[in-house]
A and B are shown apart, each in its own frame.
Chain A
Amino acid sequence: MARGCEVVSGFLIKHACDYPATARCLACGKRVCAGHSRPLDGVRDAADLPFKAEPGEEAAVCVECVKARAAQAQPVDARATGDPRDWYRDRYYDDPYFWGMYHHPHYHPYSVYDDYSASDRAAFERDGDMAGGYEGDFAGT
């Protein structure tokens, strides 16, 4: 799979991750990189997910969909299958991507990115091109 990860992230500046996609999220259909994907058994009711992986693609769920499902989990079926909130908490309590959700619950569940600045995230960007302009930079490397 040659395309880039389609997860859009960023606190101040939204941008596509664009790292090489290794899987397809079966919940939203996005192509996602290893850092932004979780295995299918990381969500409840994975059998009902709407998308299918194409040949050569790994089936997964993206972290945004996992977080959304964890945040929306309600204890309506707790007596039958256990509290879905505990189900997600057991799996993601120590997952750094969910750190804000479980360790800083006073924040909105989607606000884990608050701990990183736009410039922090920029260090991981690979888009943009420095090609060209050769032999004109005294500090070039």
Chain B
Amino acid sequence: MTSRGLSGPANSAPVVYYALGGGLGHVTRSIAILRQMAKRGLPGGIALTNSPHHALYAREGLVAASIGPEAGQPADALAQWVAGRLAHWLPQLLVVDAFPRGLLGELPPVLARFAGRTALVLRRLREGYAREYRLREFVAAHYDVVLAAEVLPGAPWVSRTGAARDVGPVLVRDAEELRTREDARRRLGAAADRILVVGVESGPGEHAGALHSVLSRVWERLGRLFDLRLAGAGGAVSHYPLIELLPGVDVVVGAGGYNLFHECQAVGVPAVFVPQRRRYDEQFARVAGATVASSPEHLERILASHVAAGPRLRPAPRYTNGAASAAGALLELLGASDASIC
């Protein structure tokens, strides 16, 4: 692949990462990959976001351009905004997260005019969406590379250059960046000899807050025999990213979103999932095979068994971070080796 070089105008950015979408998944994947690219010698990537949590980018030392619902709708307004950002920063690489056609389906004309490289970071999507919008055909025609950030069911996804590359779960922290069990528990105010359960509320929708409510009632009904901390929307634990503290947690309870599911799997923390319906994401399919609570009483039984077993020490987490693999693939796409850009 021919290198297009990394020099450019003063206001240029080598990479623009399109991370529009609800929840924290898009924000966190973009942060994970942009910081890994920076680690590998290519800083300066810029994220595009519509998230109310856009301040997280600055906290991570990254730059983001943010747009709200008033300016970002309808689709042609959003297309204009995206095209304007690309014209301003003149990136050599556009990375799109999850939605091949964009959140509002605004990207086709943008991609048709974009002269740089294009990459899609893909997680599970509803097959109905993929079929209705012929996403596989669209991706094959418009993207130079597809990076599979988890197992993708159904027919294969291919790009202009070949089959999707399985980079594995994209995590915002490497294993060596996590807190120790003792430090994490100290930060969470947990006793050493009691089970620590962290409930993570996530996502928008009519059930927001319900998981915290259920967990509080379970905690009462089980005689407050474990320490309970509530994270996410409305919870007292606001630490970001939560994965840093997971080594100190005995049980996580949350929906089946991308971040929480893969973070728990990577860290090895026992988790109980209460999957939620999402318009695009397939939480029920993602957590199939994991521990899933089907009712409040079922959740009680599972947590009671953990309380009876008591805290269990786990080995320090060791995992391969898909964000690093993704960053490597993107640098390769840019035609830049680590040595040439350091």
Contact = CB atoms under 8 A, between A and B. Distances in A.
Contacts of B69: 138-139
A9 B295 contact: yes
A111 to B, nearest CB: 13
B177 interface: no
A133 B313 CA distance: 46
Interface residues of B, number: 51
Interface stretch (A33-41, A44-52, A69-77, A82-90): A33-41
A140 B276 CA distance: 13
Given A132-B128, A134-B129, A140-B22, A124 B277 contact: no
A63 interface: yes
A124 B295 contact: yes
Interface string B186-228: 0000000000000000011011001101100110111000000
A112 B210 CA distance: 18
Main secondary structure of the interface of B (DSSP, over half): loop
B275 A126 contact: yes
Given A17-B294, A35-B297, A96-B301, A134 B213 contact: no
B221 A5 contact: no
The interface residues of chain A, by DSSP majority, are classed as loop
Contacts of A122: 206-207, 210
B279 A121 contact: no
B250 to A, nearest CB: 18
B294 A130 contact: no
Contacts of B23: 141
B166 interface: no
A138 B300 contact: no
Interface stretch (B99-107, B167-175, B234-242, B261-269): B99-107
Given A120-B296, A124-B293, A141 B25 contact: yes
B314 interface: no
B296 A138 contact: no
A119 B103 contact: no
